[in-house]
């Protein structure tokens, strides 16, 4: 079922939510929210993405708002903490925002930092989580293969659960996976799954042991479940620093995955200083609930984007919808 553009625009609200620490070079996360027959849903491709790349995000928006969610196999999802590229003295404060989480994903490879900075950050996380905690690192594809090999070797002393997107391309992922096989550290693919025309290429190339799956960039819950089923690889369901409405979409996806062996990256509402609901999807005892979110009108007003940014998002929605029509 596809809504008309008028139906989408009729309830559209654009928000800008402040973040705890600078993330992907932004100080606030913008999103366009709309209400469908099944409830509120979100359209929030990153601002640097072009209209063609935003198309699957719109498909996901419509899927979640206009179609019933698949049957849920679980009512709550175990989640990981996310540590931005902060200094080691800031790690404790960030971790405190993720109560009960036994796993931490640590951002590394920031262009304005060094490997020594990454080592210091990961070391602090290990100290605070203790020996039983799980640490995964995420380079967002910013290392070359040689840089990745050196970094993985240096950081594996902290007992890594896996390394997420160490390099940008599928070929590079396959190369680094082969080079570091002797270390026994799994390689996870994120951007290579959601930013390629063929998400299954990663599995066919033997480029990853784990897939990081996000509902919005893959076209919605059903499209993501289809990809998961075809690859046969274990997955981590994650978010893209969404509002609690977008995270709810991810939670419903995670709830429908037949085998969920890893803590999911769906606790990122903890990285926001504000949200669109007074009951956000925050971790409780290391898990978030699988539930729909209805925004609070007062919070929609409080975090409303400027008129200029609202116009920008509305125009973006209109252009992307035109591609959907085509």
> What digits encode the pLDDT tens for the residues 248-285?
999 999 999 999 999 999 999 999 999 999 999 999 99
For residues 65 and 72, give the distance between their C-alpha atoms in angstroms, rounded to a whole number.
17
pTM: 0.95
Q: What is the mean pLDDT of residues 29-38?
A: 98
CA atoms within 13 A on the CB side of 120: 11
Decide if pLDDT at 22 tops 80: no
Please, what is the average pLDDT of the chain? Answer: 95
The yes-or-no answer on residue 105 being catalytic is no
Average pLDDT over residues 1-19: 96
Please give the residue range of the domain that contains residue 163. 76-295
Query: Does the annotation flag 147 for ligand binding?
Result: no
Query: For the chain, how many structural domains are there in total?
Result: 2
Please tell me whether 164 is known to bind a ligand: yes
DSSP for 180-223?
TGGGT--EEESHHHHSSS-TTHHHHTT--SEEEEETTTTTSHHH
When pLDDT is averaged across residues 75-102 and rounded to a whole number, the result is 96
Element (H, E) at 31: strand 26-36
**CA pair distance 30, 10, nearest whole angstrom:** 19
Task: Give me the catalytic one of 150, 195, 214, 302.
Answer: 214
CATH number for the domain including 313?
3.30.390.10
Looking at residue 23, its pLDDT comes to 67
198: confidence class by pLDDT, cuts 50, 70, 90:
confident
Q: How confident is the model at residue 199 (pLDDT cuts 50, 70, 90)?
A: confident
pLDDT of the residue at 24: 65
274 and 307 share a domain? no
2 is an active site residue: no
36 lies in the same domain as 180:
no
Residue that is written with structure tokens 């993330």 in the block? 23
Catalytically annotated residue among 2, 107, 195, 302: 107
Could you tell me if 188 and 313 lie in one domain? Answer: no
Residues 211-239: tens digit of each pLDDT: 999 999 999 999 999 999 999 999 999 99
């Amino acid at each position: 079922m596809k809504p008309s553009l008028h139906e989408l625009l009729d309830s559209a609200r654009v928000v800008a939510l402040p973040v705890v620490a600078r993330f992907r070079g932004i100080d606030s996360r913008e999103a366009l929210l709309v209400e469908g027959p099944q409830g509120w849903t979100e359209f929030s491709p990153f601002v640097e993405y072009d209209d063609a790349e935003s198309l699957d995000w719109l498909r996901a928006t419509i899927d979640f708002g206009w179609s019933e969610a698949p049957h849920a196999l679980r009512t709550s999802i175990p989640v990981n903490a996310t540590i931005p590229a902060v200094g080691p003295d800031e790690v404790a404060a960030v971790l405190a925002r993720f109560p009960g989480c036994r796993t931490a994903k640590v951002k590394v490879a920031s262009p304005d930092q060094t490997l020594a900075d990454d080592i210091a950050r990961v070391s602090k996380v290990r100290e605070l989580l203790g020996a039983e905690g799980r640490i995964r690192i995420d380079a967002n594809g910013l290392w070359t293969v040689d840089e990745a090999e050196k970094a993985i070797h240096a950081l594996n002393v902290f007992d890594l659960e896996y390394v997420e997107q160490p390099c940008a391309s599928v070929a590079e992922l396959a190369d680094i996976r082969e080079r570091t096989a002797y270390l026994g550290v799994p390689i996870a693919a994120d951007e290579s799954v959601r930013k390629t025309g063929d998400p299954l290429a990663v599995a066919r190339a033997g480029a990853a042991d784990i897939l990081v799956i996000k509902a919005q960039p893959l076209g919605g819950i059903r499209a993501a479940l289809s990809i998961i089923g075809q690859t046969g690889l274990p997955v981590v369901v994650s978010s893209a620093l969404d509002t609690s409405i977008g995270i709810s979409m991810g939670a419903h996806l995670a709830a429908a995955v037949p085998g969920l062996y890893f803590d999911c990256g769906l606790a990122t509402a903890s990285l926001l200083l504000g949200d669109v609901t007074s009951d956000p999807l925050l971790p409780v005892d290391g898990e978030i609930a699988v539930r729909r979110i209805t925004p609070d009108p007062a919070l929609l007003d409080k975090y409303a984007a400027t008129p200029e940014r609202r116009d920008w998002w509305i125009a973006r929605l209109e252009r992307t919808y035109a591609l959907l029509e085509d």
